[in-house]
């Protein structure tokens, strides 16, 4: 085989593998994708019999890496939401509108940063007082699927809390379930000529020639690469119920009763997306609860059902179908105190092997980590391949985020650049949550881009703003506060 025909291999056909394959194919390489199972999608596809029913409640964020990447690629996936009504809180006093909690959480709006080294519980206790900290830790279960969110890094939790609760208007549901996302990705991959091999489990002895992107869960990657790769994750009980009727039930119940250190979330998917059951009629309720290692399926699910009994009266008489299970390390990485995403297993594994997935060193939320790491891994694989295909060792230079901004500033209308410095990258972590060190955004006709570069001891932050609006209107929009709704969906 001539070097220019040398393919990039991708192991794993979940979101990470598909994104990596598309990125590599777009970069001009032949791509072979190896998927162990008989279908694509990995965890994004529920089960063989009901693939359209997601593996537990799944949402996406319009400001996150997944949605942004889909937009950039012009891959059309239809979404529903935001959900503005129908959230109820179930606490020790019963089911209610979350008004009291919203008021209680109001002061949290002002806090932007949290430390890496403290536990979320301890930090929030000092910052907001015990009662509020307690509520915050429980609510953390909604976004981490973890049984004890208060024990995780304060920075990790705070970033997630701010993004999902203070910007609840950016939450979307994918219509027809994540199956339709997977189908759209697979269609694009096929259009680009990606060669997809199903039922093709890669083993250490059948590891294809590099450059290769391993886009499996860490445990599988560790087996394939025969090296230690691990990171803490969550253990989560899941209950899915299809019912024949809807008895005026709420859309979402957050069960934060005090026997839990976390929250049990019960979501009536069909309230947001009538197609959540694949257009088959009926109603779909999905619930998740982070459980400790010693809790079994029966016990975990019984606790979920207890919340259903209170919030969804009559549900037991309307069951059409039911699925209960515990998933382990399936909901992405969680960062313990003292660690950030940068400490997780690296994308670069040496010998032109690259890792992608939701527990790899990349920023973002849940599957956004898969997307960010997949794009990163595929670009590196492309570079490695170019290096091999053409004479290796030709000089090359990278497009640094700062130079990239300089380019955009020179071509976008009425652009301004402005550079500041900060003591450490940690202080600006949220800026790069959707892409390592760099991102572009658009709001009300104003394009903004930010880059973060290490600068001896500290970091340099460069911001670009550009707009086609006339001066006054533009100044007004730039000064506009980013309106964030309080916790309300």
Partner 1 sequence: MEDQVRAAQGGDPFAMDALLTELAPWVGRLCSSIALDKGDDAMQETFISVLKNLPTLREPAAFRGWVRRIAVREALRAATGDRAVAVADIPEVAVVPDFETAVDIRDTLTKLSPSRRAVLVLRYLEDLSEHEVAELLGTPEGTVKSGLHRARESFREQWREA
Residue from 6, 26, 30, 36 that binds ligand FAD (CB under 6 A)? 36
Applying CB under 8 A, the site for partner 1 has a residue count of 35
Q: For residue 327, how many other CB atoms are within 10 A of its CB?
A: 17
How many residues contact ligand FAD, by CB under 6 A? 39
Q: How many CB atoms lie within 10 A of CB 385?
A: 23
Between 68 and 163, CB nearer to partner 1: 68
Q: How far apart are CB 308 and partner 1 at their closest, in Å?
A: 42
Assess 59 for contact with ligand FAD (CB under 6 A).
yes
Q: Nearest distance from residue 373's CB to ligand FAD, in Å?
A: 8
Residue of the chain from 217, 235, 303, 474 that contacts ligand FAD (CB under 6 A): 217
Q: Which does 238 bind (CB under 5 to 8 A by kind): partner 1, ligand FAD, none?
A: ligand FAD
DSSP 168: G
Omega before 450 cis (within 30°)? no
Residues numbered 359 to 418 that lie near partner 1 (CB under 8 A) are 379, 382-383, 386, 390-400, 403-404, 406-408, 410-413
CB 34, min distance to ligand FAD, A: 5
Stretch that binds partner 1, among 223-231, 346-354, 359-367, 440-448 (CB under 8 A): 440-448
Sort 420 into a burial class: Cβ within 10 Å, 0-12 / 13-18 / 19+: exposed
Among 34, 88, 172, 344, binds ligand FAD (CB under 6 A): 34
Contact between 345 and ligand FAD by CB under 6 A: the answer reads: no
Instruction: List Cα–Cα distances, 167 to 62, 63, 313, 446, 467, in angstroms.
Output: 10, 9, 31, 19, 24
- Of 25-44, binders to partner 1 (CB under 8 A) are 26-27
Between CA 347 and CA 140 the distance in angstroms is: 27
- Interface of this chain with ligand FAD, residues 147 to 206, rule: CB under 6 A: 201-202
Burial class (CB in 10 A: 0-12, 13-18, 19+), 457: exposed
Largest CA distance in the chain: 71
- 410 contacts: CB under 8 Å, gap ≥ 6: none
Question: Is the Cβ of residue 205 or residue 396 nearer to partner 1 in the bound state?
Answer: 396
Taking CB under 6 A as the rule, does residue 43 contact ligand FAD?
Answer: yes
Q: What is the dihedral of CA 201, 205, 211, 214, to 10 degrees?
A: 40
Q: CA-to-CA distance for 390 and 3, rounded, in angstroms?
A: 8
| 327, 55 Cβ separation under 8 angstroms | yes
Positions touching ligand FAD (CB under 6 A) are 11-17, 34-37, 42-44, 55-56, 58-60, 201-202, 215-217, 220, 224, 236, 238, 288, 327, 330-332, 357-358, 366-368, 370
Positions touching partner 1 (CB under 8 A) are 26-27, 68, 71-72, 74, 379, 382-383, 386, 390-400, 403-404, 406-408, 410-413, 440, 442, 447, 449, 466
């Amino acid at each position: 085989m001539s070097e220019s025909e040398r393919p990039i291999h991708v192991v794993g056909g979940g979101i990470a593998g598909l994104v990596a394959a598309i990125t590599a194919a777009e970069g001009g390489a032949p791509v072979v994708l190896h998927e162990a199972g008989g279908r694509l999608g990995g965890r994004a596809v529920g089960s063989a019999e009901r693939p359209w029913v997601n593996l537990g409640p799944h949402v996406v964020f319009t400001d996150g890496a997944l949605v942004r990447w889909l937009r950039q690629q012009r891959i059309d996936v239809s979404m529903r939401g935001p959900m503005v009504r129908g959230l109820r809180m179930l606490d020790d006093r019963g089911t209610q509108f979350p008004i009291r909690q919203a008021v209680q959480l109001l002061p949290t709006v002002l806090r932007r940063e949290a430390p890496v080294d403290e536990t979320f519980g301890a930090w929030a206790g000092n910052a907001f007082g015990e009662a509020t900290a307690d509520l915050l830790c429980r609510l953390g279960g909604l976004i981490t699927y973890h049984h004890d969110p208060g024990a995780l890094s304060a920075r990790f939790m705070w970033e997630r809390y701010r993004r999902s609760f203070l910007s609840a208007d950016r939450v979307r549901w994918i219509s027809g379930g994540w199956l339709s996302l997977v189908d759209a990705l697979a269609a694009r991959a096929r259009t680009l000529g990606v060669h997809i091999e199903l039922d093709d489990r890669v083993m250490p002895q059948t590891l294809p020639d590099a450059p290769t992107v391993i886009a499996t869960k860490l445990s599988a990657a560790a087996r394939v690469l025969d090296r230690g790769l691990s990171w803490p994750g969550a253990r989560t009980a899941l209950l899915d119920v299809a019912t024949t009727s809807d008895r005026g039930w709420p859309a979402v119940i957050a069960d934060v009763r005090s026997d839990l250190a976390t929250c049990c979330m019960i979501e009536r998917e069909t309230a947001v997306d009538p197609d959540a059951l694949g257009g088959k009629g009926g109603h779909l309720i999905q619930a998740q609860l982070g459980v400790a290692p010693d809790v079994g399926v029966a016990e975990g699910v019984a606790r979920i059902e207890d919340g259903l009994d209170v919030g969804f009266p009559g549900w037991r008489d309307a069951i059409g179908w039911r699925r209960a299970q515990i998933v382990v390390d399936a909901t992405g990485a969680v960062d313990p105190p003292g660690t950030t995403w940068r400490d997780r297993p690296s994308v670069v594994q040496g010998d032109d092997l690259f890792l992608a997935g939701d527990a790899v060193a990349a920023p973002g939320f849940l599957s956004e980590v898969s997307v960010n790491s997949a794009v990163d891994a595929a670009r590196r694989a492309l570079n490695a391949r170019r290096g091999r295909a053409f004479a290796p060792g030709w000089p090359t230079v990278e497009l640094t985020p700062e130079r990239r901004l300089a380019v955009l500033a020179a071509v976008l209308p009425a652009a301004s650049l402005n550079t500041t410095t900060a003591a450490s990258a940690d202080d600006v972590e949220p800026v790069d949550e959707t892409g390592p060190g760099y991102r572009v955004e658009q709001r009300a006709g104003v394009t903004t881009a930010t880059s973060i570069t290490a600068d001896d001891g500290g970091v340099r932050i460069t911001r670009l703003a550009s707009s086609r609006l006339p001066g006054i209107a533009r100044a007004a929009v730039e000064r506009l506060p980013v309106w964030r709704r309080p916790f309300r969906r």
